[in-house]
Amino acid sequence: MSDNKKEHLKDLGVFPEEHIDDILRDHDTFLKDLEKKQSDLKNEIEYFSEKMPLKRKEDILSMLRIESGIKFSF
Give 28-71 pLDDT, tens digit per residue: 999 999 999 999 988 887 887 777 666 676 777 777 766 565 66
| H helices present in the chain, as ranges | 3-12, 20-49, 54-68
pLDDT for residue 5 is more than 60: yes
Query: Is 72 within 8 Å of 44 (Cβ atoms)?
Result: no
Amino acid 52: pLDDT: 67
Question: Does residue 26 register a pLDDT over 90?
Answer: yes
Nearest-angstrom CA–CA distance, 11 and 32: 26
Q: What is the DSSP letter of 17?
A: G
User: How much is the pLDDT for 22?
Assistant: 92
Q: What is the dihedral of CA 55, 59, 62, 63, to 10 degrees?
A: -170
- pLDDT, one tens digit per residue, over 43-54 is 887 887 777 666
